Amino acid sequence: MGEGEGVCVQLERLLLQYMDQMENLNQKQQQLNSLIEQGWFSLSKSRYAMGIKWVSSLQYGSEMVPTVRVVTRRTAEDAHSFRVERAEDGRGEERARGGEEPAAPEQVRRRKPAHGAEVDVGGSRGEVRERSGEQTDSPVGRGSPRDPLKWFGILVPQSLRLAQRDFKQVVDLAAEIASLQSSVTCTQSQYRALLHLKQQLRGR
Amino acid sequence: MAVGGAAAVRRRGMAGRGKLIAVVGDEDTCTGFLLGGVGELNKHRRPNFLVVEKETSVAEIEETFKGFLSRDDIGIILINQYIAEMIRHVIDAHTLSIPAVLEIPSKEHPYDAAKDSILRRAKGMFTTDDFR
């Protein structure tokens, strides 16, 4: 097989890959559109239940800490992949920012120290911090004020919770679409480079 | 070896931090995504979202969007397609993978794939001459 033929085979492979990626992108985009529509519908229902003023930008919190972030990674094909990372109830974020640590009721309540090494009441600060870190996994801190639902009241209608769930799914899908867009762009540039090479070979 | 290890730890730390998702959209779109947990007000009180209302000027949208593009803590920018149309030249000029710009529908304007920057780039990719 000559060099020209090899390039043609590679071009065909890239073209098929590109078509697959575009089809996938199209499907994901349609899913995202329908999920967003559901989310808006749920928001409208909660606006109907709570009143027009209660679901608006006026209710946004004065402090906002993201509970969702995207982690980017370069793939082998030189594209970027996006992965959603959640800090549930913002507790992970709190730790990452070095902010106020959640209260550790265990430290206050412990009157009788346990046996062995854990008896060390005057333990180092690092140990205490470590224990409070473990504490964040307990259900004590559930319902943190970081949850954006709390901006709209304590007892919010079910439809607002549904809207939140829908938009969380949309965020996941958005990360997938961003990864696909990056792959599509990467395939495009590979295809163009190969096409240029093919034209050069034909010109010889 | 130790240097490699330290670099790996540093890389892991950066990966663990992650990037933000920015939103430029109408009130319902922003409210929805903020409910989803993407909102941030940083220490300078700069938000990672812009609620576009009737009074919002195109210049303001463009400036905010460019601000999001230049921030290195933003990984994805979600923008309503009808707003993207207002600043199409800025979106077309952005060719980097990060931040990724995603065009999404709005309540009054359904998504039109023919207007999407990524898909328009794909459209001009093939000519009949290429398949010879």
Does residue B93 form part of some domain? yes
Domain that holds residue B109: 20-123
Chain A residues in contact with B35 (beta carbon < 8 A):
148-149, 160, 163-164, 167
Return phi, psi of residue B5, to 5°.
-65, -45
Does residue B4 form part of some domain? no
CB contact under 8 A, A68 and B16: no
Number of domains in chain B: 1
> Which residue, A183, A161, A171, A159, is CA-closest to A79?
A183
Place of tokens 């519908």: A41
Q: What is the pLDDT of residue A200?
A: 84
Does residue B6 form part of some domain? no
Q: A154-159: long-range contacts at Cβ-Cβ below 8 A with a sequence spacing of 24 or more?
A: A156/A46, A156/A50, A157/A45, A157/A46, A157/A49, A157/A50, A159/A42, A159/A43, A159/A45, A159/A46, A159/A49
B interface test, pick of A71, A97, A146, A179 with most B CB neighbours within 10 Å:
A71
Q: pLDDT-based confidence at A1, cuts 50/70/90?
A: low
For the stretch B34-93, pLDDT in tens is 999 999 998 888 999 999 999 999 999 999 999 999 999 999 999 999 999 999 999 999
Q: What is the CATH number of the domain that holds B30?
A: 3.40.50.10580
Whole-number Å distance between alpha carbons of A149 and A161: 7
A interface test, pick of B91, B97, B117 with most A CB neighbours within 10 Å:
B97
**pLDDT higher than 90, residue A132:** no
Whole-number Å distance between alpha carbons of A66 and B20: 8
A80-86/B20-25 β-pairing = unpaired
Does residue B72 form part of some domain? yes
Judge if ipTM > 0.85. no
Over the range B51-86, which residues count as b (16 or more CB within 10 Å of their CB) and which as e?
bbeeebeeeebeebbeebbebeebbbbbbbbbbbeb
Q: How many residues does chain B have?
A: 132
Does residue B3 form part of some domain? no
Amino acid identity for residue B32 in this structure: G
Q: Is the pTM of this model over 0.90?
A: no
Does residue B48 form part of some domain? yes
Does residue B32 form part of some domain? yes
- Find the chain B residues whose C-beta atoms sit closer than 8 A to any C-beta of A: 15-21, 27-41, 47-48, 51, 75-76, 78, 95, 97-98, 100, 102, 104-105, 107, 110-111, 113, 118, 121-122, 125, 130
* Smallest Cα distance from B118 to chain A, Å: 7
Does residue B1 form part of some domain? no
Q: What is the pLDDT of residue A58?
A: 87
Q: What is the pLDDT of residue B2?
A: 43
Size of interface A-B (CB pairs under 8 A): 140
Q: What percent of chain B has pLDDT over 90?
A: 59
Q: What is the 3-state secondary structure (H, E, C) of A9-60?
A: HHHHHHHHHHHHHHHHHHHHHHHHHHHHHHHHHHHHHHHHHHCHHHCCHHHC
For the stretch B119-132, pLDDT in tens is 777 776 766 666 65
Q: pLDDT-based confidence at A39, cuts 50/70/90?
A: very high
**DSSP 8-state code for residue B103:** E
